[in-house]
């Protein structure tokens, strides 16, 4: 896979890394943490087209310092049990970088993270059930780059169910919908643009299931990383208010 950038996509994979350290059945599935499995899947699919680092909740500043974010083209986010422990100042920092052009891939229960709620401006609430449902991930936008090389449908033998109503703004693009063995459906692959940044939300991935070892799920996440990466990653700019006088309309100064 190639990207529109002139250098490898710099990816930071962020995860809570709590379930893996406190729940034996999760540790058995992800002995090195879910963040490691997600990072491996991105490297597996993007190869030399990416450079991937990981960061976790319990690192200083959650591993998301200003320097780290400045060197991150795309941030992936998985959280669940400790959304409230994410420091507001770190959320504000990530928010600023997304609006300035950093890509963001939000995974599964990251729908309730502070950063996703802040970017969406809604509750991001939904219905859920954790009873080993089969999930079928249907491609509804087959020409979208995130759907490249993805089977129709992706079959996930066992995962947590998410169902509508999913309280998010209408997506800019709907790439995937999921159906479950209980009959529920869910908008499971959605894109958004905020400021200069691109966002992709992808549903599969409860900690109790080996979903991040699934080759097709890995491919979608890697495609999402490639798509959310800015075409001009070296030109990160925060949207600013500009006043223009007659005669200097084009180069008007920032306020």
The verdict on residue 181 lying in a domain is: no
Categorize the per-residue pLDDT at 3 as very low, low, confident or very high, splitting at 50, 70 and 90.
Answer: very low
Range of 58's domain? Answer: 9-122+189-228
Question: Is the distance from CB of 30 to CB of 15 less than 8 angstroms?
Answer: no
Question: Is the distance from CB of 101 to CB of 235 less than 8 angstroms?
Answer: yes
The verdict on residue 31 lying in a domain is: yes
CATH number at 52 reads: 3.40.50.880
The verdict on residue 106 lying in a domain is: yes
The predicted structure's pLDDT at residue 255: 56
Categorize the per-residue pLDDT at 251 as very low, low, confident or very high, splitting at 50, 70 and 90.
Answer: low
The verdict on residue 183 lying in a domain is: no
- Whole-angstrom distance, CA of residue 140 vs CA of residue 176: 5
pLDDT per residue over 44-102, tens digit each? 999 999 999 999 999 999 999 999 999 999 999 999 999 999 999 999 999 999 999 99
Question: Is the distance from CB of 136 to CB of 178 less than 8 angstroms?
Answer: yes
Torsion of CA 155, 149, 232, 65, to 10 degrees: 30
Average model confidence (pLDDT) for the chain? Answer: 93
User: Per-residue pLDDT averaged across 236-250, rounded?
Assistant: 75
Q: What is the pTM for the complete model shown? A: 0.93
The verdict on residue 204 lying in a domain is: yes
The verdict on residue 168 lying in a domain is: no
User: Per-residue pLDDT averaged across 186-204, rounded?
Assistant: 98
Question: Is the distance from CB of 168 to CB of 190 less than 8 angstroms?
Answer: yes
Question: Is the distance from CB of 161 to CB of 184 less than 8 angstroms?
Answer: yes
> Where is pLDDT greater, at 104 or 5?
104
The verdict on residue 131 lying in a domain is: no
Domain total of the chain: 1
The verdict on residue 163 lying in a domain is: no
């Amino acid at each position: 896979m190639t990207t529109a950038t002139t250098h490898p996509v710099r990816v930071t994979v962020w995860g809570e890394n709590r379930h893996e350290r406190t729940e034996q059945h999760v540790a058995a599935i992800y002995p090195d943490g879910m963040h490691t499995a997600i990072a491996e899947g991105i490297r597996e699919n993007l190869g030399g087209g990416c450079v991937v680092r990981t960061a976790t909740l319990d690192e200083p500043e959650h591993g998301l310092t200003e320097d780290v974010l400045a060197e991150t083209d795309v941030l992936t986010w998985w959280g669940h049990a400790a959304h409230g422990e994410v420091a507001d100042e770190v959320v504000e920092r990530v928010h600023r970088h997304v609006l300035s052009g950093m890509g963001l891939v939000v995974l599964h229960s990251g729908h309730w993270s502070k950063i996703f709620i802040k970017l969406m401006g809604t509750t991001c609430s939904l219905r859920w059930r954790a009873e080993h449902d089969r999930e079928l991930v249907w491609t509804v936008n087959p020409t979208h780059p995130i759907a490249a090389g993805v089977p129709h449908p992706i079959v996930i033998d066992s995962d947590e169910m998410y169902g509508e109503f999913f309280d998010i703004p209408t997506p800019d693009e709907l790439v995937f919908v999921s159906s479950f063995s209980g009959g529920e459906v869910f908008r499971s692959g959605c894109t958004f643009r905020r400021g200069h940044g691109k966002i992709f939300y992808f549903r599969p991935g409860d900690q109790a299931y080996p979903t991040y070892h699934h080759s097709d799920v890995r491919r979608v996440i890697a495609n999402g990383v490639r798509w959310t990466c800015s075409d001009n990653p070296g030109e990160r700019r925060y949207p600013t208010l500009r006043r223009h006088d007659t005669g200097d309309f084009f180069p008007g100064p920032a306020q």
